Amino acid sequence: MESVYMAGAYDQRLVALSVVVAILASYTALDVVGRMGERRDWRCYGWLAGGALALGTGVWAMHFVGMIAFRLPLDMGYDVDITSASWLMAVVACAFALNAVTHARLTRARLVVGASAMAAGIGGMHYTGMFAMRLHPGIEYTPTLVGVSLLIAFAASAVALRIASFLRQAQAGSRFGRKFLAALALGVAIAGMHYTGMAAAHFRVDSLFGASAKLDTVWLGTLVGASTVIFLAIALIVSILDRRLENSTSDLVASLSRANAELLHMSRHDPLTGLPNRALLNERIDKSLERWKSQGVGFAIAYIDLDGFKAINDHLGHRAGDKLLEQIALVLRDALTDGDVAARIGGDEFVVLMNDIADKDDARAVCTRMLKAISQVEYAGGELAASVGYALCPNDGADLDALITAADMAMYGGKLAGKNRVQRYREDMGARMSDDFALQSELRDAIRYGGLAVYFQPRFRTGDRRLVGAEALVRWPHPTRGFISPDRFIAIAERCGLITELEINVLDMVGGHIRAWLNDGLVVPPISVNLSAVRIRDESLPDQVQGCLERYRLDPAYISFEITESLAVREIAQARSALGRFKSMGIEVALDDFGTGYSSLFYLKQLPIQQLKIDRSFIADLPNISEPKAEIVEWIIRLSHQLQLRVVAEGVETEAQLAYLQRIGCDEVQGFLLSRPLPADRLLALLEREQGPIRVSGPMR
């Protein structure tokens, strides 16, 4: 029985070519779409259009290559308008499908819509393309196969779009394989649809082509060539666009990372000095801790606090204070080696991480170097000083907080011990700090409710050992703790703002005793009162002194003051004006602890003082000290005399010392040898014994 349908045959090579075209088109489309960003801007739609164009054209070209691969025993032709419409249909459907799957998240609904659109596009294109042949009578289709063809188009599209969506999130490196897989799936969807659709189609033997155009091999060559050119052109344009984008992106990324780096720098550095701040310091310390744990390399932390910086700030202004801090940052950097980190962690507080520290002496040496560097920073009011505490890892602490706290406590301990010094952490410091806190309120009560007392340590003329004066020394007979060194509670009073009250209290007690002795008809020698560093800056100090003198009806000659050398030199401007006022009031001033601070004889000339007290640390070694050191003491005495200053030696404990001091011309001595500090009634007894029954009133000189 002869069939009413024509038998078609396929050219295998052309079939293969058609599949290749479909895959190539799919690949180009996916490549283009894969470059779309998250944001739906014009560039994104440009890519979408490019992808749709590539894919639509690919579907279309595939169809015609497939048609040419199919040989019917008659010449085939196509209607140009319908053919163009089928192309447009393919492109639009692809655009719709690609748009659906390129949202940030591919939901199931979007996938179904996208795959349906794709299938409709491919199917619509195919069957429209077939219709473009204008066959008479029309092509007959097997409905199930048509359904299958559309199902294949849908399923393969869904797979392809799913992969395409993954692609957009994937890393660049893993893209090619998946993109190729997706292109394969989509290519199969397009080709599979086509060939199943063709299997569904039956051409009657008596068919006539209504379309006139003839498709031959020349046409074919042109078509495949053109479509390939289109794909390549699109791919090329995309890659050019992309490179340009990548360039501008890399510019953006570069400036972004620059900004980021700056931000990072800012967040980890102190804006004023440019030194690392606490955050960066902590990081570095953590690194050092790791290094210690893995390699056993120890390190040290130093805590630096400037002495009297707040006063400088108040006096010279914040601008000058900032300048000083900047200078300190510079000298600290210079004093350190490369691996070390100096950080500013607060107003006038610095912390230094010292890596590559061999031992505690090494750490101390670095600290001393820093202290010296700071003391060389000059400003209008004199020179700077600081207290430096340090702690070693692992000896004094094995984690960040423990080490910084230990160094801080050591610094504080150094401050209490007399400032301007380097102090290593000791285990008892922690206990001491909380102890100091408790002492504060007890001290406040002692000052207010008469808990303090003054002792008097007499001073004697070296030659005839006659009593020529006494130093008032505050005492705190603590009900439960017993004796607390004034060095310690004075430092506490200075820190918590009690010092003014304390010293007014002392001055008052001294004034009261002098008045009582005078009333007893005694000749009273000048009593010297210690003035704290904080007090010399107090503008109201001369008035307070004047008030005390008036209250007890005292001649100014009964009172003199002692100020420490380091204080006078460091705050020379203030010291000079305060001491000048005392001088004009007729009150003498002694420079205390000479030799412990700056020992600058140059300053002696600039200060209105009448007395110089050589620190007891010099006297302790006399007369056995090496020649040059003894020579210094002699030299100080000689120079003082040239400046019309009387020289007092403190801490004279032996006859040998006294003899030596007499030989080199020291005017007065004070120390345990001749008298310990005495309570007021014992000094009274001493004065009475010295003066006998004959009493002359009036100040003694």
- Kindly list the residues in this chain that would bind Ca ion in the complex (CB under 5 A): 530, 562, 592-593, 650
Nearest to 530 by CA among 555, 492, 569, 567: 567
Q: Distance (Å, rounded) from C-alpha 63 to C-alpha 124?
A: 11
DSSP string, 591-603: EEEETSS---HHH
Q: Distance (Å, rounded) from C-alpha 81 to C-alpha 72?
A: 23
Residue 424 or 616 having the CB closest to ligand C2E: 616
CB atoms within 10 A of CB 39: 8
469 binds ligand C2E (CB under 6 A): no
Considering only residues 536 through 575, tell me which ones interact with ligand C2E, judged by CB under 6 A: 562
Among 123, 276, 298, 486, which residue sits at the site for ligand C2E (rule: CB under 6 A)? Answer: 486
487 binds ligand C2E (CB under 6 A): yes
Task: Identify residue 444 by its one-letter amino acid code.
Answer: R
117 binds ligand C2E (CB under 6 A): no
Nearest to 504 by CA among 457, 448, 555, 438: 448
Residue 193 or 490 having the CB closest to ligand C2E: 490
307 binds ligand C2E (CB under 6 A): no
Residue 58 or 486 having the CB closest to ligand C2E: 486
Single out the segment in contact with ligand C2E by CB under 6 A; choices: 2-10, 85-93, 334-342, 482-490: 482-490
Mask of contacts with ligand C2E, 604-643, x by CB under 6 A?
Answer: ------------x---------------------------
Burial of 258 (0-12, 13-18, 19+ CB in 10 A): exposed
Among 457, 566, 610, 611, which residue sits at the site for ligand C2E (rule: CB under 6 A)? Answer: 457
Report in angstroms how near the CB of residue 652 gets to Ca ion at its nearest. 12
Residue 257 or 485 having the CB closest to ligand C2E: 485
Q: Count of residues binding ligand C2E (CB under 6 A)?
A: 23
126 binds ligand C2E (CB under 6 A): no
Positive or negative CA dihedral for 177, 183, 186, 188? Answer: negative
Residue 372 or 465 having the CB closest to ligand C2E: 465
Please answer whether residues 532 and 490 qualify as being in contact, where contact means their C-beta atoms are separated by less than 8 angstroms: yes
Residue 630's φ and ψ, nearest 5 degrees, are -65, -35
397 binds ligand C2E (CB under 6 A): no
Q: Distance (Å, rounded) from C-alpha 341 to C-alpha 287?
A: 12
506 binds, among ligand C2E, Ca ion, none (CB under 5 to 8 A by kind): ligand C2E
Nearest to 307 by CA among 335, 328, 331: 328
DSSP string, 130-152: HHTT-EESPPEE-HHHHHHHHHH
Among 473, 496, 625, 678, which residue sits at the site for ligand C2E (rule: CB under 6 A)? Answer: 473
Please state the three-class secondary structure of 563-591 as a single string.
EEHHHHHHCHHHHHHHHHHHHHHCCEEEE
Report in angstroms how near the CB of residue 419 gets to ligand C2E at its nearest. 12
Residue 82 or 484 having the CB closest to ligand C2E: 484
Paired tokens of 558: 């009964």
Residue 282 or 457 having the CB closest to ligand C2E: 457
Task: Identify residue 65 by its one-letter amino acid code.
Answer: V
3-state secondary structure of 200: helix
- 282: CB partners within 8 A, 6+ apart: 400
45 binds, among Ca ion, ligand C2E, none (CB under 5 to 8 A by kind): none
485 binds, among Ca ion, ligand C2E, none (CB under 5 to 8 A by kind): ligand C2E
Residue 35 or 616 having the CB closest to ligand C2E: 616
**Which element (helix H / strand E) includes 427?**
none
Paired tokens of 343: 């950080």
Report in angstroms how near the CB of residue 427 gets to Ca ion at its nearest. 30
Residue 383 or 562 having the CB closest to ligand C2E: 562
Report in angstroms how near the CB of residue 526 gets to ligand C2E at its nearest. 15
| Beta bridge partner(s), residue 530 | 562
Q: Distance (Å, rounded) from C-alpha 70 to C-alpha 54?
A: 24
| Beta bridge partner(s), residue 646 | 611
Residue 158 or 658 having the CB closest to ligand C2E: 658
Nearest to 163 by CA among 238, 98, 96, 234: 98
671 binds, among ligand C2E, Ca ion, none (CB under 5 to 8 A by kind): ligand C2E
Burial of 619 (0-12, 13-18, 19+ CB in 10 A): buried
- 70: CB partners within 8 A, 6+ apart: 8, 9, 10, 11, 198
Report in angstroms how near the CB of residue 564 gets to ligand C2E at its nearest. 7
Considering only residues 515 through 534, tell me which ones interact with ligand C2E, judged by CB under 6 A: 530-532
647 binds ligand C2E (CB under 6 A): no
Residue carrying the six token digits 């655009």: 95
651 binds, among ligand C2E, Ca ion, none (CB under 5 to 8 A by kind): ligand C2E
Considering only residues 570 through 599, tell me which ones interact with ligand C2E, judged by CB under 6 A: 592-593
Nearest residue to ligand C2E on Cβ basis: 671
411 binds, among Ca ion, ligand C2E, none (CB under 5 to 8 A by kind): none
CB atoms within 10 A of CB 629: 13
Q: Which residues bind ligand C2E (CB under 6 A)?
A: 457, 473-474, 485-487, 490, 503, 506, 530-532, 562, 592-593, 616, 650-653, 671-672, 677
